[in-house]
Amino acid sequence: MRILIAFFIPWLTFFTIGRPIAGIICLVLQITILGWIPAAIWALLALRSYDEAR
């Protein structure tokens, strides 16, 4: 489920894994259409590292 959130709403992923500052930065990045793809990739990578650390 978190993978879908990371793809469609990247900034919300950071709030679910306990990184609110990164979530705000990701939201600012996601506001632009061109920033959506890097924001989604960043969220997916952060989610992967969170799952590996846990």
Local confidence band at 32 (pLDDT 50, 70, 90 cut-offs): confident
pTM, two decimals, is: 0.85
- Read off the pLDDT of each residue in 4-17 and give the average, rounded to a whole number: 92
> Residue 16: which pLDDT band, with cuts at 50, 70 and 90?
very high
| pLDDT of res. 52 | 86
Residue 44's alpha-carbon distances to 34, 41, 50, in angstroms, are 17, 5, 10
**CB contact at 8 A, 16 and 5:** yes
